[in-house]
Amino acid sequence: MKEDEMIICRCEEVSYEELETTAAEYKCSARELKLRTRAGMGYCGGRSCRTMVDKIAATTANDQNRTSVSLKYQPPIRPISFENLGG
């Protein structure tokens, strides 16, 4: 497997190549890169791909976007008690 074909966001199946191409084309911040590619918007809320998306955006962003706020972790939609999990 080539580096470009490596899947960075498993939930949304976003590849390294797609992230790099989008970041280079739009010179976008991590937040904008997330919105354009859907990386970090899957079930895990970016817990597995957040750092890579941040790094890719940081290397290609213009000076204005370098000071922008990075992605945040998204909590689950509804909290579940241990009682309901053990059922």
pTM for the predicted model, two decimal places: 0.68
Note the pLDDT tens digit of each residue in 60-81.
766 555 455 555 556 666 777 7
Q: Read off the pLDDT of residues 29-68 as tens digits, 9 standing for 90 and up.
A: 888 999 999 998 888 888 889 999 999 988 876 655 545 5
Ranges of each domain in the chain? 3-86
* Long-range contacts at 43-51 (CB < 8 A, ≥ 24 apart): 43/11, 44/10, 44/11, 45/73, 45/74, 45/75, 45/76, 46/9, 46/71, 46/73, 46/74, 47/73, 48/9, 48/10, 48/11, 49/8, 49/9, 49/10, 49/11, 49/14
What pLDDT shows up at residue 80? Answer: 73
